[in-house]
Structure 1
Amino acid sequence: MKKMTIGEIIEATNAQVIAVDGLDEVLNKTISHITQNSKEVTKDSLFFAVQGERVDGHQFIEECFEKGIAACLSSKVIAPKKGSVLLLVPDVKKALLKLAAHYRNKFNIPFIGITGSVGKTTTKDMVASVLGQKYDVLWTQGNYNNDIGVPLTLFRLEDHHEIAVIEMGMNHFGEIHALAEVVRPQLGLISNVGVAHIEYLGSREGILKAKCEMFDFMPKDGIAVLNGDNDMLSTLEGKLPQKLRWFGIENKKDIYADHLELMGMEKTKCTIHTPGGSFDAMIPMPGEHMVLNALSAVTVGLEMGLSFAEIKEGIENFVPTKNR
């Protein structure tokens, strides 16, 4: 990550400073690493203490001070050692989101947000594979898609990155809203709306509403990429301020596939059609759901200016996340 001063972090999080050293010395100290893992800390780290259901991160703050860490973000008062700083906030997770939003604003590159009931991690990986044929891409690793994982992903951004692909997950109303406020994507992709977390959201209509929170922080001239084969997403026609781009197998509005052919148990062959022409692709995994993932990546790739050759290369060389 790019270096940030303690003073910059204090301003972004509205933290109260508790330090042994003089204030001027504290404010000018720099951070180049942010973590919730006390085993990873160095003298240039910021450790953030999250109180989970089983483990309270605050119990590791003294250990971090003993290691000479630069600063700890905490909601509990724990006296720092000389050379270290405690940044006291009411809510560590909310402060982390504020800091991530501040850090994201340092980068004038396209941000792509991805969500969906199932398959969003595979979709995100395939989108990154396609965009990687032209751009230096930062993308969410694994399923780091919550209020801790998204900030940690953003803190991995460096000056050399040209585009960011950020996965956003949720199981309650308001969660994607909070993440989208930090990421502020120019392009938002919803892979599908199913029944995952329906016990918290009440209905598939509730799930759709929660997923659409991503569009609250997208610009009016942004792009919404939607699965036209999904019965819930198809109801969004004409209801979003952003430009809509549809993909599907049954839905043949914008980007679609036909002539699907299973090639053994490892690949799926198909023809992909776009407003600018068609091409054949060999998707390195079986099943219609993988064709839909590929179509979403094609749609994003075209919007980001990739050629058919680059998109085909990205699809056919796709390597899925382990165990997915």
Structure 2
Amino acid sequence: MTKLYTFGEMKQLLNANAENISENNLVKGFSIDSRTLKDGDLFFCIKGENTDGHHYIPQALEKGACGIVAIPENIPQTLRNRDLPWILVSDPNKALREWAADVRRQFSGKVLAITGSNGKTSTKDILAGLCRYIDPQAYSTPGNYNNFIGVPLTILSAVQKAKWWIIEIGTNQFGEIAELSNIVQPTAGIITNIGESHLEFLGSTAGVAKEKSGLFAGMNPESNVVIPDSLLHQQIVEEAAAKAGVSIIKTAQLSEKSPAGLNKFRLFEEEFETSIDSPLLKQNL
């Protein structure tokens, strides 16, 4: 965590009811996993594909959770009747996202968001390495934490004093990237490519392009998004960008000739310039 909240602030932010908690006490840590929870952490009863955090409330309390963010109806009755530190909400998953959105709003640095069918994680790692040359505290998504749970966790764990956050955004359902973009509020973005990913949910590569264009939802007009030249369904992406007022910057594909060909790049925070001469995949470039 990078900013400390009081329980009173959390209660107001999450529109929650709090029981048996001093509103002036600070939330010093959080967890969604009772196995790794530390004494004094706030435990979110997150519901995933295969489990539900409400089942692990006893373990979280045993390890010293300072509070439990839960749905009242999902709390075991044997626990509900006890004077335990509850923060009661309608959806703990949504509460986690709302908290992350508030942390993002208070971050004054730049946020670079990366999405695409392939190459997100490797591109994120390359870009994070470049940003750390400028700012050693630059923070990036750990692993591939790029979904509705992973993105909020990334933001809540980020370094508030960093100049850069590099955040990976993924999806497997229509509307997820747009909602995550509204949380992340990217300063700039990258769409690595459009491919046949999650077609069981998105229907077609055109549907993938439409979903990836959700990246523009949380961006300010005149922000920049980099895409490869000759991107599949490029028209869909460009039309969505124009509607959002976002500027598209195109890069050439490998050795193809293009007016926007990229031979060098420069980081303008400091004097640093290098030629690109590497076996990087085209989505990384």
Length-normalised TM-score, structure 1: 0.76
Q: Is the 8 A contact 2:17 2:87 kept in 1?
A: yes
Q: 1:242 aligns with which of 216, 230, 246?
A: 246
Question: Aligned pair 1:124/2:128, yes or no?
Answer: no
Q: Is the 8 A contact 1:247 1:292 kept in 2?
A: no
Which residue in 2 is equivalent to 1:139? 140
CA distance in 1, matches of 2:181, 2:106: 16
CA distance in 2, matches of 1:4, 1:114: 29
What is the correspondence of 1:44-63 to structure 2 with a 5 Å cutoff?
44-63=40-59
Unaligned stretches of 5+ residues in structure 2:
268-272
Q: Is the 8 A contact 1:150 1:179 kept in 2?
A: yes
Secondary structure of the residue that 2:212 maps to in structure 1?
helix
CA separation of 1:80 and 1:246: change in aligned 2, threshold 3 A = farther
CA separation of 1:231 and 1:55: change in aligned 2, threshold 3 A = closer
Superposed displacement of residue 206, structure 1: 0.9
Q: Is the 8 A contact 1:7 1:28 kept in 2?
A: yes
Question: Aligned pair 1:221/2:225, yes or no?
Answer: no
Which residue in 1 is equivalent to 2:260? 254
Q: 1:32 aligns with which of 28, 31, 35?
A: 28
Q: Is the 8 A contact 1:208 1:232 kept in 2?
A: yes
CA distance in 1, matches of 2:82, 2:140: 36
Matching residue's letter, 2:231: N
CA separation of 1:153 and 1:98: change in aligned 2, threshold 3 A = same
Q: Is the 8 A contact 1:255 1:275 kept in 2?
A: no
Deviation string, structure 1 residues 88-132 (Cα, Å, up to 9, x no partner): 111111111111101112211111111000111111111111111
Which structure dedicates a bigger proportion of its chain to strand? 1
Length-normalised TM-score, structure 2: 0.86
CA distance in 1, matches of 2:17, 2:188: 36
What is the RMSD computed on CA atoms of the aligned residues? 2.3
Unaligned stretches of 5+ residues in structure 1:
257-271, 296-324
CA distance in 2, matches of 1:217, 1:126: 23
CA separation of 1:292 and 1:41: change in aligned 2, threshold 3 A = closer
Superposed displacement of residue 280, structure 1: 3.3
CA distance in 1, matches of 2:163, 2:82: 39
Superposed displacement of residue 252, structure 1: 2.1
User: % of aligned pairs identical?
Assistant: 32
Q: Is the 8 A contact 1:246 1:253 kept in 2?
A: no
Matching residue's letter, 1:190: I
Matching residue's letter, 2:115: T
CA separation of 1:45 and 1:221: change in aligned 2, threshold 3 A = same
What is the correspondence of 1:1-324 to structure 2 with a 5 Å cutoff?
1=1, 2-19=3-20, 26-75=22-71, 76-77=74-75, 78-79=79-80, 85-135=85-135, 136-233=137-234, 236-237=237-238, 239-240=241-242, 241-249=245-253, 250=256, 252-256=258-262, 272-273=263-264, 280-283=275-278, 286=279, 289=281, 291-293=282-284, 295=285
Secondary structure of the residue that 1:27 maps to in structure 2?
coil
Matching residue's letter, 1:180: S
Matching residue's letter, 2:89: V
CA distance in 2, matches of 1:141, 1:251: 35
Secondary structure of the residue that 1:132 maps to in structure 2?
helix
Q: Count residues in correspondence.
A: 268
Q: Is the 8 A contact 1:223 1:243 kept in 2?
A: yes
Superposed displacement of residue 157, structure 1: 2.0
Secondary structure of the residue that 2:35 maps to in structure 1?
helix
Q: Is the 8 A contact 1:18 1:79 kept in 2?
A: no
Superposed displacement of residue 73, structure 1: 1.1
Runs of at least 4 residues off by over 4 Å: 273-276
Secondary structure of the residue that 2:19 maps to in structure 1?
strand
